[in-house]
Chains A and B, each alone.
Chain A
Amino acid sequence: MRAASLGPAIEVEGLVKVYPGGTRAVDGIDVAVGRGEFFAFLGPNGAGKTTTIRILTTLLRPTAGRARVLGLDVTERPGEVRRRIGFAMQTVALEGLATGRENLELMGRLHRVPGPDLRRRVDELLELMGLTAVSGKLAGTYSGGMRRRLDLATALVHRPDVLFLDEPTEGLDPQSRAALWQELARINREGTTMLLTTHYMEEADQLCPRLAIIDEGRIVVSGAPAELKRGIGADKVTIQLEAAEGEMTTRQDAVARLLDGFSPLQGLERTDEGVRLAVVDAATTVPDLLRRLDGDGIGVRALTMQHPSLDDVFLRYTGRHIRDEAADRPLEIGW
């Protein structure tokens, strides 16, 4: 962590954004991200992540509250903020009729990267993103993954201190996504503070030592992913029972009776094929659990254990799953 004494890279206090139509997209967000951190806003579509990141990147004015990036107020000193940040937006924005190299050079020029330095930097980024071979081709001919990588590179030409990423892997296939994750982790290791928004739990989980879960314009909980999951307390153990036709209910009853008073058990739920248990520390309890079932002559066809996921965390705090909400906002139509 460099220059911690300079204060956080991003500070948000009581941030509110109400759109002209009355939609309260951001409803009082407070958050601080330290220099060099890789922080995520995790939440479903429409949670207010994009609105927040657009305020932080000076594209939107907040209705209330304040936001500072590198100590600079985003509404009072937008010019200085813009010089020191990079922003990879949700929609890839490239000039399709310019080559990959030209796209990078233009953004470098606009950020006043001096000529010789720019050449070196562009070569370096093309190499880093695996685009050297296609750098002379029009960006409009690139594949989705290549376009994403080029877009990310355009946000990095001027070596920003803080990089904002709005759903950076949206629409990518699993391989491209994993490759981009590695790239992002590397950029962060080199000292860039990163703020990422995503609705992919794995993404936040893999990349970010700390995150905030956002829903309906508010932060519902924040912390380290491992800590948040530990807070859920129990692992999930799913058991498929051996049962003749029509006997499943009696089998499930038998399991419920048998485990009554079994101290690690926190919950029992019936499924079509057996039961799902919430168990503290499944890895050490399952052998004992199986012995008990076996001792009572209850046949087990299959058993799976699962640690809590960030989705379970989301569920705990909001009562919904992250992906329940495919709340795709309607397209904006002209007029």
Chain B
Amino acid sequence: MLAFARETWYLGLRTLRRFLRVPANPISTVIFPLIQLVGFSQLFRDIIQLPGFAGQTSYLAYLAPGQIAFTVFLAVSWSGSNLLYDYRNGYLDKLRAAPIRRYSILAGELVPLGLECAAMAGVILLVSIALGASVATGFVGAVLILVLCAAFGVAWSGTSFLPALLTKNEQATGTLSILFFPLAFMSTAFVPVRLMPDWLQVLNAVNPISYVIEAARALMTTGYDWGAIGAAVVAIVLVGVVLQGATLLAFRRLTN
């Protein structure tokens, strides 16, 4: 276990460096949520007067948790490509010929990915606060929001790792990232579930990102809603078990 942690640490440092040394990585991740946060909070400023928004005092405060959570989708959309790149240029073989546990290689991708998600979501959180949003639960609540984002990011990254490992095709790595659009725009990021037509309400009930957004929104606007937080954790675990479970099998096959 200690050896696994050690190997993950050193391989993780490499992954983090790779992310940080290409400025386009962090920039391209935060730019879309930033545009939405700034633009939509102005464009739909008066939407909170609709009855479904009962209790909300500013649309920015309502919108921010959704944009923070969306950052994660963008942070992981091409996450499988590192591993595929290593597979192509022989680095994966080099690691396989080294005396390490092979799952350290996968963990060395996923752990930094969680950190990247938290950091990028944190940027949007800070900008939201700068624009006038606040976090009702304070610093601890803010950390909890970022932890949820990191966990969801790691779980969701299976949508990139899985096609990458199964097809070994660079283009396939980002294909499923378009799931972002239906999931994001039909979630409760923009309007409360009460304002949705019935069929969207049904879809929303199985939309994992909505649970993460609702938990984050509670932490930002009202307080520790353990029901919402618990539901988010369950959603993340379900997504994680399915997607990362399959990723693990595909990784095993690739490295055999």
Contact = CB atoms under 8 A, between A and B. Distances in A.
Most buried by A among B14, B98, B172: B98
Q: Secondary structure of the B side of the interface?
A: helix
Interface string B2-17: 0000110011011001
A258 interface: no
A58 B256 CA distance: 10
A89 B167 CA distance: 24
Interface string B242-256: 000000000000000
B99 A83 contact: yes
B99 A97 contact: no
Interface in B1-59: 6-7, 10-11, 13-14, 17-18, 21-22
A323 interface: no
B230 interface: no
Interface in A64-103: 79, 82-83, 85, 87, 89-95, 97-98, 102
Interface string A310-335: 00000000000000000000000011
Interface residues of A, number: 28
A89 B169 contact: no
B13 to A, nearest CB: 8
B12 to A, nearest CB: 11
A83 B97 CA distance: 9
Interface in A141-186: 154
Interface in B44-97: 89-91, 93-97
B100 interface: yes
B168 interface: yes
Interface string B170-213: 10100000000000000000000000000000000000000000
B178 to A, nearest CB: 19
B96 A59 contact: yes
B168 A110 contact: no
Interface residues of B, number: 26
Q: Secondary structure of the A side of the interface?
A: loop
Contact of A82 (B6, B98, B168): B98
Contacts of B167: 334-335
B184 to A, nearest CB: 29
Given A95-B18, A97-B18, A110-B7, A334 B169 contact: yes
B15 to A, nearest CB: 10
A93 B97 CA distance: 12
A109 B96 contact: no
Nearest to B94: A93
B10 A109 contact: yes
A94 B17 contact: no
A87 B96 CA distance: 11
B99 A111 contact: yes
Contact of B98 (A97, A102, A111): A111
A239 interface: no
Contact of B168 (A59, A87, A138, A334): A334
Given A97-B18, A109-B10, A79 B99 contact: yes
B159 to A, nearest CB: 18
B95 A110 contact: yes
Interface in A214-234: none
Contacts of B17: 97-98, 102
Given A109-B6, A109-B10, 7 more contacts: A58-B96, A82-B98, A85-B97, A91-B90, A97-B21, A106-B11, A334-B170
Contacts of B99: 79, 82-83, 110-112
Nearest to A107: B98
